[in-house]
Amino acid sequence: MKLIRTGSTLSLDHPRWQTEAVRTPDTDTYDVLVIGGGPAGLSAALNLGRSLMRVLVVDADRPRNAATLNSHGFLTRDGVAPHELRRMARDELAAYPNIEVRTRVRVLELSRADAGFTASIGRKDPTDVVAARSVLLATGLHETLPDVPNLRGFYGISLFSCAACDAWELRGRRLALIGETTDLADRARLISRWTESLTVFTLGAETVTPEEEAELAASGVAVLRLPIAELVGDRGRIEAIRLTDGTVVTVEGGFVRPEWETDLSFLHGFAPAIDRDGHLITDRSGRTDIPGLYAAGDAAIPGPQQLIVAAGAGARVASVMVHDAVGIATAH
């Protein structure tokens, strides 16, 4: 980014010190294109904007946690609805003339160019093409829930995917853990921290080994391997789980283990490296193996999928991008 300074007033509006991007708002070249408007993307945009970067955030406005009524663990915002947190963040970004947020559209195609990247933007068909010197992928993860009848009716109300986010509200209750992935036993050990009554439902998958089942049983955790025929409850509040053999297990809440993957279908002509779990592989500073392409949030961080963790990652990668833009080696 080229800075022009002939005075000492530190203001975007002062004519004697402006960034090139702010001085020519009619250009379609941005310093950074942020793809994804969740906590990681919005936090990155705020910090990039405060560093005088010209930033475009493109957000399809279809967050993975849309079904969740309240989010937890975000300091000063514990219990806030996820959509309200995003609204407040967008309101804060609106105060910065060098940050633009476009919602309910998505990047349909992202290509590499000589000076960075070009992106076609729209809903189903392209309506605009923009250029950016660098790109931050903050798209989160695509979630596929287990194939259980009427699961969607309870998800986000009494069945959740994140123990760190929602287990406190379910503490001491009779809980279920539903899934068919190989980490199910580990998740059961974690969730049993909040309850003395936990039943694991493997949906017929042999993903809990006999040794793991014996270990869980010694801790009071039951493992049931038959498929689920029906979730029983009212208005999203689960009361019982009925198996295909007619067995009914009383529960008062629980957790689901979805499968996640990073959606990179919009990338054209290049593909950054991903790990076996579908996360983008980055260095400790958020750089992918594609020059100028960075990643932050759930798409790049295995571990707790909490809003505050994603927001922190966005701020951290933003700092790295600013350092890279001016050629400063960063210690981040």
* CATH homologous superfamily, domain 3-142+259-325: FAD/NAD(P)-binding domain (3.50.50.60)
Q: How far apart are CA 100 and CA 87, in angstroms?
A: 14
**pLDDT, mean of residues 175-186:** 96
CA distances from residue 93 to 3, 71, 102 in whole angstroms, order as listed = 22, 21, 12
Would you say residue 66 has pLDDT above 90?
no
How does residue 329 score in pLDDT terms, banded at 50, 70 and 90?
A: confident
pLDDT at res. 259: 87
Contact 82, 307 (CB under 8 A): yes
Q: What share of the chain is helix, strand, coil (3-state, %, to 5)?
A: 20, 30, 45
Token output for 45: 């945009």
**pLDDT, mean of residues 268-276:** 91
pLDDT averaged over every residue in the chain: 86
Token output for 309: 């963790």
Token output for 248: 């009914």
pLDDT at res. 197: 97
pTM of structure: 0.81
**pLDDT, mean of residues 127-136:** 95
CATH 3.50.50.60 maps onto the chain at: 3-142+259-325, 146-256
Q: How far apart are CA 278 and CA 260, in angstroms?
A: 7
Would you say residue 65 has pLDDT above 60?
no
Contact 16, 8 (CB under 8 A): no
Q: How far apart are CA 109 and CA 50, in angstroms?
A: 28
How does residue 141 score in pLDDT terms, banded at 50, 70 and 90?
A: confident
**pLDDT, mean of residues 137-144:** 87
Fold of 146-256: FAD/NAD(P)-binding domain (3.50.50)
